[in-house]
Amino acid sequence: MIVLDPPERGPRVYKREWKASAWRGSLDEIVGAVQAAVDEIHRQGTQHVGETSILEYKDGSSETINSLDALREAVENVDPAEVKNLTVRLAGGTPSVLLRGTADKGLSVTAEGSEAFAAGMVATLKSRLAGGAEAGGMMVLVPIRPFEWFLLALSPVLFVAALVFFFVDFKEDDIVFFLLMAGLAGGMPLFFAFGLIADNYRNSDPIRFVLVPEGDQFPDEGEAKDGPVWRTKAWFDRHPLVKFVLTLLVGGLIGALIAEGLDGLLS
């Protein structure tokens, strides 16, 4: 009888990932994040870490760099505006890290190893690269054009106008028709505005991974006005959906106030 020993099971390998759908930052940020990853792999007891970086340029050429020190030196001579894609791979046996930035998909970080290593590495790199993700989110926002702003502003105006118009001949039996027509009047500009905004976004096809010189992550940072009013305006500019919802709420409130005032005058 032949007895075969069962195969030895190695330690389980976990995989964790973080993605930024858009990222704008500097090569110095990338190098700092990679250095933190190398230090963490060393703390896992792995002394030798294979380091490979690939820079793909907009002219179709590419450059392979086989050490972090060489990458750090190359950063001083590379024009970040000419880099289209970037890949950095670190491997120290089981623990490994892959950082990849592409023009069409943004930035991704993948870590493999023990559960603690994979989760901790992704959390570390995410915290270091989060500023670039925020700048990237601002970068790919498609600005709303003046005519689209006009349609958005027209919506609550038409809604209020419809309330006033139908209120004149309002009867209790017509409440459904009353609300439906007011909603349609206010909703038509929104329908056209959303169609234009969506079409403009599809056609813009923004680049989602951009390397810039250190300090230029936020283009308007040096010109930003200070004070609570300007900071609030900047926050709303970064969150157009919140601004839009509040516009509707304010428009509805104004309409309710006008209707209440007319009710008092006509009764």
3-state secondary structure of 225: coil
Q: pLDDT tens digits, residue range 25-52?
A: 999 999 999 999 998 888 877 778 889 9
Q: Measure Cα distances from 169 to 116, 162, 177 in Å.
A: 69, 12, 12
| 3-state class percentages of the chain: helix first, strand second, coil last, to nearest 5 | 55, 20, 25
- Record the tokens describing residue 246, joined without a space: 């509040």
Contacts of 230 (CB under 8 A, 6+ apart): 224
Residue 222's pLDDT is 40
Residue 220's pLDDT is 60
Gap between the Cα atoms of 49 and 35, Å rounded: 11
Length of the chain: 267
Please provide the distance, in angstroms rounded to a whole number, between the alpha carbons at the two ends of the chain: 104
Burial status of residue 89 (CB atoms within 10 A of its CB: 0-12, 13-18, 19 or more): middle
Report the predicted TM-score, pTM, of the whole model to 2 decimal places.
Answer: 0.61
Strands 50-57 vs 62-65: parallel, antiparallel or unpaired: antiparallel
Residue 102's pLDDT is 94
Q: Domain locations in the chain?
A: 14-139, 146-205+225-266
For residue 88, give the nearest of 100, 76, 103, 73 by alpha carbon.
100
Q: pLDDT tens digits, residue range 176-202?
A: 676 777 777 777 877 777 777 677 766
Residue 83's pLDDT is 92
Per-residue pLDDT of the chain (267 residues; tens, 9 = 90+): 565 555 556 678 889 999 998 999 999 999 999 999 998 888 877 778 889 999 999 998 999 999 888 988 888 888 998 999 999 999 877 788 999 999 989 999 999 988 999 999 999 999 999 999 888 887 776 667 777 777 777 787 777 777 777 666 655 556 667 677 777 777 787 777 777 767 776 666 778 899 998 888 776 644 334 444 444 555 566 667 666 666 666 666 565 555 555 565 555
For residue 115, give the nearest of 99, 90, 94 by alpha carbon.
94
Residue 233's pLDDT is 57
Amino acid found at 62? S
For residue 103, give the nearest of 88, 118, 83 by alpha carbon.
83
φ, ψ of residue 104 in degrees (nearest 5): -100, -10
